[in-house]
Amino acid sequence: MSFFKKLKEKISTQTDSVTDKFRDGLSKTRDSFVGAMNDLVKDFREIDEDFFEELEEILIGADVGVHTVMELVEELKDEARTRNIKHAEDIRPVISEKLAEMLQKSENESKLNMQPEGELTVILFVGVNGVGKTTSIGKLAHQFKEDGKKVVMAAGDTFRAGAIEQLEVWGERSGVDVIKQQAGSDPAAVMYDAIQSAKSKKADVLLCDTAGRLQNKVNLMNELEKVKRVLAREIPSAPHEVLLVLDATTGQNAMSQAKAFGQATDVSGIVLTKLDGTAKGGIVLAIRNELDIPVKLVGLGEKIDDLHEFRAEQYVHGLFADVLQEAEQALDDGRD
């Protein structure tokens, strides 16, 4: 079965609203990236070294990352030789195919690591200030609540002015309890209280906010390690997820943050916010391929229900809807 048929089948099993969210949320990246690629195809009727050099520039411009771009272009050259592809038009579907392969290295890797029913799932959120960390926690709390789960939130960012109050607002909006102490309190003590409260309430999920900035990076990372130790002492398998929140609009700066946090704590997944607000959505590829950390959640809007599980096939479809439609037509015409 061809890549396009597989992709179409996967998407057909998902709701139209999810497909629409990804397509609409990726519109800026699609217009910029795919538009430039279409122009490239028009300029180069046949594939040659100049074509691939221009393609490299387009991909780097979309923040795909230099290392990933070099790897991708080499694979495309190999595919072109193997499949005897001569025309630039015919390489476009192969590009989308390779992107999908890079994004999803194993089945269900974007799924959150949820514990069996009756056991508490602890999810720790990390990331610098201003990336949308507290907002993402609030949106995820809302999702879990809508799914019928009992949720508790821990206001562990005790250093940023207004952080506790911001989480409380989300708690009120979602109908979720927020465990807090006074501003400036020990975050680890907040986590201890939150664990005890979640256990007593027989909660399904505990979502933990953390500080994004202290006096220096070393202090911040030490504080995160202390928080993790407290969680693990109370529940040996916790935290079950450490989600690093990154702002997609910051591009390669997000990569630098991911490397720093990845070195200091065991990040298990990425929450990529504001993906709908950037024309450089290729950062998803750079993060997945160069850091080997799966993107688990993406922000595709400002509404409370605009945080979504990342799906590689929806991302590729959102970028290449027109290309895939042409490929489908070719299949129907019996030319694939």
User: 22 and 164 in one domain?
Assistant: no
User: 84 and 187 in one domain?
Assistant: no
Residue 115 falls within a domain, yes or no? Answer: no
pLDDT surpassing 90 at residue 250: no
The answer to whether 298 is a known ligand-binding residue is no
What's the chain's Rg over C-alpha atoms? Answer: 22
CATH of the domain at 92: 1.20.120.140
Hey, which of 19-23, 51-55, 314-318 has the most confident mean pLDDT? 51-55
- Which 3 state secondary structure label does DSSP give 244? strand
The answer to whether 276 is a known ligand-binding residue is yes
The answer to whether 130 is a known ligand-binding residue is yes
Residue 61 falls within a domain, yes or no? Answer: yes
Predicted local distance difference test score (pLDDT) of residue 41:
82
Q: How far apart are CA 243 and CA 127, in angstroms?
A: 8
Predicted local distance difference test score (pLDDT) of residue 329:
58
Predicted local distance difference test score (pLDDT) of residue 263:
74
* % of the chain with per-residue pLDDT over 90: 44
Q: Tell me how crowded residue 329 is: count the other CB atoms within 10 A of its CB.
A: 11
The answer to whether 158 is a known ligand-binding residue is no
User: 272 and 241 in one domain?
Assistant: yes
The answer to whether 133 is a known ligand-binding residue is yes
Interval 114-136: pLDDT, tens: 999 999 999 999 998 889 999 99
Confidence tier at 311 by pLDDT (50, 70, 90): confident
User: 294 and 179 in one domain?
Assistant: yes
The answer to whether 218 is a known ligand-binding residue is no
The answer to whether 230 is a known ligand-binding residue is no
- Kindly state the average pLDDT of the residues 306-323: 80
Give which of 30, 2, 20 is closest to 278, Cα–Cα. 30
The answer to whether 127 is a known ligand-binding residue is yes
Say which residues have a Cβ less than 8 Å from residue 178's Cβ, sequence separation at least 6. 152, 153, 154, 155, 167, 168, 170, 171
The answer to whether 228 is a known ligand-binding residue is no
Helix count and strand count (H, E) for the chain: 14, 8
Predicted local distance difference test score (pLDDT) of residue 314:
83
User: 138 and 90 in one domain?
Assistant: no
Predicted local distance difference test score (pLDDT) of residue 307:
92
Burial of 53 (0-12, 13-18, 19+ CB in 10 A): exposed
User: 306 and 160 in one domain?
Assistant: yes
User: 248 and 161 in one domain?
Assistant: yes
- When divided into structural domains, the chain yields a total of 2
The answer to whether 289 is a known ligand-binding residue is no
Average pLDDT, the chain: 85
The answer to whether 92 is a known ligand-binding residue is no
Predicted local distance difference test score (pLDDT) of residue 322:
62
User: 152 and 79 in one domain?
Assistant: no
Say which residues have a Cβ less than 8 Å from residue 162's Cβ, sequence separation at least 6. none
pLDDT surpassing 60 at residue 336: no
The answer to whether 211 is a known ligand-binding residue is yes
Residue 114 falls within a domain, yes or no? Answer: no
Residue pair 13/298 in contact by the 8 Å Cβ criterion: no
Confidence tier at 99 by pLDDT (50, 70, 90): confident
Q: How far apart are CA 33 and CA 61, in angstroms?
A: 8
- Which 3 state secondary structure label does DSSP give 122? strand
pLDDT surpassing 70 at residue 196: yes
Q: How far apart are CA 80 and CA 78, in angstroms?
A: 5
Residue 25 falls within a domain, yes or no? Answer: yes
pLDDT surpassing 70 at residue 309: yes
- Which range, of 9-23, 63-77, 218-232, averages the lowest pLDDT? 9-23
User: 86 and 233 in one domain?
Assistant: no
Letter for the amino acid at 277? G
Burial of 258 (0-12, 13-18, 19+ CB in 10 A): buried
Interval 274-308: pLDDT, tens: 988 887 778 888 888 888 888 999 998 888 888 99
The answer to whether 274 is a known ligand-binding residue is yes
pLDDT surpassing 50 at residue 1: no
User: 156 and 15 in one domain?
Assistant: no
Residue 116 falls within a domain, yes or no? Answer: no
The answer to whether 212 is a known ligand-binding residue is yes
Interval 156-181: pLDDT, tens: 999 888 999 999 999 999 899 999 99
The answer to whether 265 is a known ligand-binding residue is no
The answer to whether 210 is a known ligand-binding residue is yes
User: 324 and 295 in one domain?
Assistant: no
Predicted local distance difference test score (pLDDT) of residue 258:
84
The answer to whether 247 is a known ligand-binding residue is no
Q: Supply the range of the domain harboring residue 79.
A: 3-108+318-332
User: 173 and 103 in one domain?
Assistant: no
- Which range, of 60-64, 122-126, 317-321, averages the lowest pLDDT? 317-321
CATH of the domain at 146: 3.40.50.300
Residue 12 falls within a domain, yes or no? Answer: yes
